[in-house]
Structure 1
């Protein structure tokens, strides 16, 4: 993997209730690695913050503070355990409240009057990485696994949140058999994450197609000549973008 010595601002959001968890240990290692490379890192530990996940009314000082963190970040890391094939409720609530109208969606381009989304938005150009722990075996979250590939499982986050708001979604960093790791296995996973973060700025993101007239019609469906014969999630991938070698 290529590495880069330049640095920027990073926001690391953790959604795990236990301070002595595997997730917390990986977060600590990841944040320390970024800082050692010259990154300025801001953390949002949602459970430690007592984050209110329920959207009752828009806005609030806590929402504005998280939005400010996002706006200055070049890299956004969302870290969480995979619970029932999705994010913990506290993280889903963070997205629900922070990515509100005028920030995450309903962002209008004043030049064209068009709503900016799917490859364009207020957060365009930022890189977004999901660091995910799962209890099942590695094969279960592969393309032929019983759960489907981790990219398909996380489609609502990768495509529906990251890509929708203009962020460049990176391939998820998946840690499987999270409840059964010994010290040696944890060390290897920690080192793998640290090594990946060293090259995160030059890593090839997931190639999703942008929402434009070249690819989608006015019903927001792919034109017939785009990915002919493909159905579902795979049809929305840009085949010109190579798959990275992360391991």
Structure 2
């Protein structure tokens, strides 16, 4: 029995070999819970056979502001500077700043991207939002033709792993902060899925600053256990792009609406068709 288990583990490691994981990490404190979660991910994924790269944004002093400084040389239209268009041209011409191109290389090579952060004001910290604004460059990460289920990164996976300052009950559909599924929709759909990523269910560490150290240990044990099978998980569900009609302003096609007309819940948190929101649509695969 032990030999079979060992052989299975070896086979799984062999299958993982060659796979790369990028962790985009944002926390100022090397002794934080987020740091511990990052260390756990690096350790477990490395043992599983993955190559793990960490972009430690605070340590790197990563520039958060999207400005013309991101382009080496002259911009094409200084009188009417448009960041997305100018950086797309700079990317095509090899004129983007080095800090962006380095992250492009990491992202291009990654099979999985984990965003590890403390939730600030119901979203990611400013330095991580700056990474998103600057690194997910038009042309490189998305185009009007290549987005959502037809996105450039459709063969890659991504997920959020984060801490909250509030208890889980406060992020419920009856809680003062509102439903966490609604909070996650703009990030998971509007950023990750928009670029084509297959989005894995988030890893949420509820209010670690408000619980005892032994609860921290339990949280990390759960995270370590999940990490071992992470790339085998089914992604979250989003409505495919071909269910929308571009000629009508990308509205749901009549045949798709007909399929869901008599269902209790809408298809997703964002595209809900005026129905009740599907429970845990942004927190659990297949929900």
TM-score range, shorter chain: 0.7 to 0.9
Q: Residue 200 of structure 2 corresponds to which residue in structure 1?
A: 170
Please, which of 227, 238, 244 is the counterpart of residue 208 of structure 1? 238
For residues 195-237 of structure 1, give each alpha carbon's deviation from its aligned partner in whole angstroms, at most 9, with x where no partner exists.
111111111111101212x344531122344243848615289
Distance 1:83 1:201, change over 3 A: same
Aligned residues: 235
Structure 2 counterpart SS, 1:32: helix
Structure 1 residue runs of 4 or more that deviate by more than 6 Å after TM superposition: 236-239
Distance 1:35 1:79, change over 3 A: same
**Mapping for residues 8-19 of structure 1, pairs under 5 Å:** 8-19=19-30
Structure 2 portions without partners, runs of 5+: 1-8, 69-86, 88-95
For residues 88-107 of structure 1, give each alpha carbon's deviation from its aligned partner in whole angstroms, at most 9, with x where no partner exists.
00000000000111112226
Please, which of 46, 51, 62 is the counterpart of residue 40 of structure 1? 51
Higher relative contact order (CA 8 A, sep 6+): 1
1:20: how far off?
A: 1.1
Alignment partner of 1:222 is 2:252: yes
For residues 83-124 of structure 1, give each alpha carbon's deviation from its aligned partner in whole angstroms, at most 9, with x where no partner exists.
1111100000000000111112226xxxxxxx1111122211
Q: TM-score, normalised by structure 1?
A: 0.86
Alignment partner of 1:51 is 2:62: yes
Contact 1:208 1:238 in 2 (8 A): no
1:10: how far off?
A: 0.1
Distance 1:137 1:118, change over 3 A: same
Task: Work out the CA distance in 1 between the residues paired with 2:252 and 2:175.
Answer: 27
Alignment partner of 1:102 is 2:149: no
Please, which of 161, 176, 188 is the counterpart of residue 146 of structure 1? 176
Q: Residue 109 of structure 2 corresponds to which residue in structure 1?
A: 72
Alignment partner of 1:197 is 2:227: yes
Task: Work out the CA distance in 1 between the residues paired with 2:212 and 2:176.
Answer: 25
**Mapping for residues 15-30 of structure 1, pairs under 5 Å:** 15-30=26-41
Contact 2:161 2:204 in 1 (8 A): yes
Contact 1:150 1:172 in 2 (8 A): no
Distance 1:117 1:189, change over 3 A: same
Contact 1:151 1:172 in 2 (8 A): no
Q: TM-score, normalised by structure 2?
A: 0.75
Task: Work out the CA distance in 2 between the residues paired with 1:121 and 1:101.
Answer: 12
For residues 138-192 of structure 1, give each alpha carbon's deviation from its aligned partner in whole angstroms, at most 9, with x where no partner exists.
1122344332333321212200111111111111111112212322111111111
1:194: how far off?
A: 0.9
